[in-house]
Amino acid sequence: MKRVNDIFYSIQGEGRNAGRAAVFVRFSGCNLKCSFCDTDFADFRLMSDEDIIAEISQWPARLVILTGGEPTLQTDAPFIDKLHDAGFEVAMETNGTNIPPDNIDWITCSPKTGVRLRRCNELKCLFDENGRADDFGIEADYYYVQPCDTGDEECNRRITSACTEYVKEHPEWRLSLQIHKLAGFK
């Protein structure tokens, strides 16, 4: 049984898959305690692999994004195989502290600390008032910096401006804005 915080249908709001319709499976629980995290870990329901697949199959999109919390704490290769067998392309958003199953189609790593992952499809680093991006020694196909949302509009403007300048000075990085927040959808 897996602890699932939420399952919802929306548009991917950031990174390489931004703009794609996707079903999100948000797992509860994480091994880090980030101050900016948007998941309520106390709220979850226990679901079997089959229950999850039945629920996500109600929507037409074939992209499922496993997120959290930290999804590597509750996913394994057999679960990913079941998702593939049900016709889903599987993406995962991880903090990189655990090694994801090998059979995931797309891995987005947003590292914070204690990183063990060494390779991913896209690396997404939060850009805050410290004004730099760190690849944590992770090799990726794409490198993104994302302005950290502090909840303070003026501070966010300064961070986004600094982030934009950083990308101009370091063109190996790309700017990733959270379009779901800008457009006002989940």
- For 102, how many CA atoms within 13 A lie in the half-sphere containing its CB? 0
Task: Quickly state the pLDDT bin for 184 (edges 50, 70, 90).
Answer: low
Task: Say which CATH number the domain at 16 has.
Answer: 3.20.20.70
Active site residues: 24, 30, 34, 37-39, 93, 180
In the predicted model, what is the mean pLDDT of residues 92-118? 95
Q: What amino acid is encoded at 118 in this protein?
A: R
Average pLDDT, the chain: 91
Which residues are within 8 A (CB) of 37 and not within 5 positions of it... i.e. 6 or more apart?
Answer: 30
Q: How many domains does the chain have?
A: 1
Highest-confidence segment of 51-55, 149-153, 178-182: 51-55
Which residues are within 8 A (CB) of 182 and not within 5 positions of it... i.e. 6 or more apart?
Answer: none
pTM of the full structure: 0.90
Residue 19 has pLDDT above 70, yes or no: yes
| CB count in 10 Å sphere of residue 68 | 25
In the predicted model, what is the mean pLDDT of residues 118-131? 89
pLDDT digits (tens, 9 = 90+) for 125-163: 988 877 778 889 999 999 999 998 888 889 989 999 999
The residue segments making up the domain with residue 21 are 2-183
In the predicted model, what is the mean pLDDT of residues 75-94? 98
Q: What is the pLDDT of residue 41?
A: 72
Hunting for tokens 């909840």 — which residue is that? 151
Three-state DSSP state, 32: coil
